[in-house]
């Protein structure tokens, strides 16, 4: 799982959700992968899928019997399906995914007895560490988003006063707009003057 966590850090460094996966056969690491759907513009570029593709190329076979996958986040339904098609023997995941987890959190794709291949699943391995990495990533992303919105509005944590706006407008070469003084209006008894064009 430590190798999967290292791959997850590669995803974080690339600005992607930090999920990493490692595919092994016995003691041999066949492939690693990290999440990168944003940078690759590919919704299927989850860590598991990247590792599966690399392993299939390396072994020159799309079926990977006897292989085990270690991943920092519970696989989604797409990844679970691909893992079954690849004939992965065992999946070991870290943090549970209460929104899209397909190993028991939302659905249990591997528990269907009608499937022609059965994968063993173990979850919650280094769950606290894997979950903390994801939580810190999303906390940082939310903070950066708040700061960007505040900067777009011209906020710096301080309230901008009308006087400060006026000074800023003057510095930019614009006169501060003052409300027009109340000018006399014709009384309701006098008709408005009409000037021929």
CATH of the domain at 24: 3.40.140.10
Tell me, what's the pLDDT at 154?
81
- Domain contains 153: no
Whether 183 is covered by a domain: the verdict is no
Cα 48 from Cα 67, distance rounded (Å): 13
Q: Is 130 marked as binding a ligand? A: no
Q: Just list the catalytic residues.
A: 48
Is 106 a member of any domain? yes
Has residue 14 been placed in a domain? yes
Q: Give a yes or no: residue 113 inside a domain.
A: yes
Per the annotation, does 67 bind a ligand?
A: no
The pLDDT assigned to 156 comes to 54
Q: ∠ CA(61), CA(66), CA(70), 5° rounding?
A: 95
Alpha-carbon distances, residue 93 vs 60, 83, 155 (angstroms): 25, 13, 42
Element (H, E) at 190: none
Pair type for strands 68-73 and 90-95? parallel
Domain that holds residue 42: 1-140
* CA 181 to centroid of chain Cα atoms: 53
**Rounded CA separation 22/30 (Å):** 8
79 is in an annotated binding site: yes
Q: Assess if residue 156 is contained within a domain.
A: no
12 CB-near residues (< 8 Å, 6+ apart)? 18, 133, 137
- Domain-embedded: residue 194: no
* Rounded Cα distance, 87 and 101, in Å: 19
Please count the structural domains in the chain. 1
pTM: 0.75
Task: With respect to residue 177, please indicate whether it lies within any of the assigned structural domains.
Answer: no
**pLDDT at 152 (0 to 100):** 86
pLDDT 10s per residue in the chain (197 long)? 999 999 999 999 999 999 999 999 999 999 999 999 999 999 999 999 999 999 999 999 999 999 999 999 999 999 999 999 999 999 999 999 999 999 999 999 999 999 989 999 999 999 999 999 999 999 999 999 999 888 888 865 445 555 555 554 454 444 433 434 444 444 444 444 444 44
What is the C-alpha separation between 100 and 106, in angstroms, rounded?
A: 6
Q: Which own/partner pairs from 134-142 qualify as long-range (CB within 8 Å, at least 24 positions apart)?
A: 134/17, 134/18, 134/19, 134/72, 134/73, 134/95, 137/12, 137/17, 137/18
Instruction: Give the Cα separation of 83 and 81 in Å (integer).
Output: 5
Chain-centroid distance, C-alpha 44 = 13
């Amino acid at each position: 799982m430590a190798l999967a966590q290292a791959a997850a850090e590669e995803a974080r460094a690339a600005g992607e959700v930090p999920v990493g996966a490692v595919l092994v056969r016995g003691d041999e690491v066949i492939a690693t992968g990290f999440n990168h759907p944003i940078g690759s513009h590919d919704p299927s570029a989850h860590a598991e899928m990247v590792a599966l593709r690399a392993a299939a190329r390396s072994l020159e076979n799309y079926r990977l019997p006897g292989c085990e996958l270690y991943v920092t986040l519970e696989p989604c339904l797409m990844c679970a399906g691909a893992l079954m098609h690849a004939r992965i023997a065992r999946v070991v995941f870290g943090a549970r995914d209460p929104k899209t987890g397909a190993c028991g959190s939302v659905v249990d794709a591997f528990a269907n007895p009608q499937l022609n291949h059965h994968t063993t699943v173990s979850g919650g391995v280094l769950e606290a560490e894997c979950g903390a990495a994801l939580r810190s990533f999303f906390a940082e992303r939310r903070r950066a988003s708040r700061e960007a919105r505040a900067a777009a509005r011209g906020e710096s944590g301080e309230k901008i006063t009308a006087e400060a706006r006026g000074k800023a407008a003057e510095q930019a070469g614009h006169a501060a707009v003052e409300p027009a003084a109340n000018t006399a209006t014709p009384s309701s008894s006098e008709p408005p003057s009409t000037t021929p064009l």
